[in-house]
């Protein structure tokens, strides 16, 4: 496993270096300005894929005296081949902490509901059956029933590693920290490899010290979601972590332990979304969250870098769409930046200063090349 992981890391580094070389080679030839108004760009995007109407505002349950140390929210939809492994990995946890599993069956039609019902005799499970409404609605349903100091998300095709709860909660309660994150394995084609691992146990910035913006692999203090939900109707609903949850957290801690097994499987939304028109939801949800004005970044430089980083992600997710759609996203992102950020700010970061310049000058060619190769 170690050799395979090493070769994988070498290949990843080599690809990064090659892309960087390509970027500098082609950059002089990438001068393309867009002659498209904001209204025209928005109309093109709306025609391609309508803007969802969900938002991140909520009024979730706020118990004064919590019943559990931890609750685990598991959204379930048509995962009969993986659900038992998921639930067994949770209920087999050896821990000193009290925990409850909140399972939300999101209108499954493949027999997942029957598998779930076989766990009803467990005294620390809550089973909720609802009409199909997407993963955001399932997670939001779970958030309404929070009665614990901490909670975590586990996707129903993934698994917890042994002692995950104990490892995460030991640190959470000892250090009184808002978010604790551990490393993870990746499980693909029956092969498990290390996906990401922190080098040491330490306090980190919630904004730029945590790995990725996915919900899983962490425990959260419940207050972080007391007035927040996942915007329904959108793909990439986990964008709320970058724009709301991480800035809201007072502190965060990372541990060396591998605590989560992330399964990669064909057909999951995560891996086909870029081939769908709804891939532009990445832009739509960015616009939604910035317009809600709930972002609590004390440092404007860090906030600006976060926004520019999200713009890169939005652009990358739309690489397979027609060029006119990519150009429309670029035009709307310029408008969004003008409204909520400041082109005059000095980032003192060569990478992002360059990216901001491409936006300010409306140079789609250079901005797109940056997103693709840098």
Q: Say which residues have a Cβ less than 8 Å from residue 92's Cβ, sequence separation at least 6.
A: 162
- CATH code for the domain defined by 68-268: 3.90.550.10
* The pLDDT of residue 268: 65
pLDDT band at 275 (very low <50, low <70, confident <90, very high): confident
Could you tell me the sign of the dihedral formed by the alpha carbons of 180, 183, 186, 190, in that order?
Answer: negative
Domain ranges of the chain: 2-52+292-373, 68-268
* 227 strand-pairing partners: none
Residues 143-165 pLDDT 10s: 999 999 999 999 999 999 999 99
* The pLDDT of residue 31: 64
pLDDT band at 326 (very low <50, low <70, confident <90, very high): very high
DSSP readout, 288-346? Answer: HHHHTT----S-HHHHHHHHHHHHHHHHHHTTTS-HHHHHHHHHHHHHHHHHHS-TT--
Indicate if the pLDDT at residue 13 is higher than 60.
Answer: no
What is the pTM for the complete model shown? 0.90
Residues 292-301 pLDDT 10s: 988 778 889 9
Distance between CA atoms of 265 and 271, rounded to whole angstroms?
8
pLDDT averaged over the chain?
91
* The pLDDT of residue 25: 60
Residues 21-72 pLDDT 10s: 665 565 554 666 788 999 999 999 999 999 999 999 999 877 678 999 999 9
* The pLDDT of residue 294: 80
């Amino acid at each position: 496993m170690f050799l395979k992981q090493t070769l994988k890391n070498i290949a990843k580094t080599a690809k990064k270096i090659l892309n960087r070389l390509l970027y500098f080679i082609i950059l002089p030839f990438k001068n393309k300005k867009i002659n498209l108004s904001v209204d025209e760009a928005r109309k093109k995007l709306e025609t391609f894929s309508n803007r969802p109407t969900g938002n991140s505002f909520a009024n979730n349950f706020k118990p004064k005296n919590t019943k559990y140390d931890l609750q685990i929210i598991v959204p379930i939809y048509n995962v009969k081949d993986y659900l038992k492994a998921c639930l067994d990995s949770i209920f087999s946890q050896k821990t000193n902490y009290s925990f409850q599993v909140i399972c939300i069956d999101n209108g499954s039609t493949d027999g997942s509901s029957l598998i779930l019902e076989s766990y009803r005799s467990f005294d620390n499970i809550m089973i909720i059956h609802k009409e199909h409404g997407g993963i955001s609605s399932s997670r939001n349903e779970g958030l309404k029933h929070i009665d614990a100091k901490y909670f975590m998300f586990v996707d129903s095709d993934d698994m917890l590693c042994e002692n995950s709860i104990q490892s995460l909660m030991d640190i959470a309660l000892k250090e009184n920290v808002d978010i604790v994150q551990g490393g993870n394995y990746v499980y693909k084609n029956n092969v498990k490899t290390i996906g990401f691992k922190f080098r040491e146990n330490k306090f980190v910035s919630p904004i730029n010290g945590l790995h990725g913006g996915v919900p899983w692999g962490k425990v959260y203090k419940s207050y972080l979601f007391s007035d927040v939900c996942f915007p329904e109707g959108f793909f990439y609903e986990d964008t709320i972590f970058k724009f709301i949850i991480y800035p809201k957290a007072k502190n965060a801690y990372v541990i060396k332990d591998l605590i989560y097994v992330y399964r990669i499987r064909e057909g999951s939304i995560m891996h086909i979304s870029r081939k769908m028109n709804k891939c532009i939801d990445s832009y739509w949800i960015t616009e939604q969250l910035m317009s809600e004005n709930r972002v609590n970044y004390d440092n404007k430089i860090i906030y600006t870098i976060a926004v520019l980083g999200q713009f890169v992600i939005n652009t990358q997710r739309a690489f397979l769409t027609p060029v006119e759609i990519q150009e429309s996203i670029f035009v709307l992102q310029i408008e969004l930046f003008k409204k909520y950020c400041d082109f005059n700010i000095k980032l003192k970061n060569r990478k992002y200063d360059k990216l901001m310049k491409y936006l300010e000058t409306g140079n789609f060619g250079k901005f797109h090349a940056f997103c693709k190769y840098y």
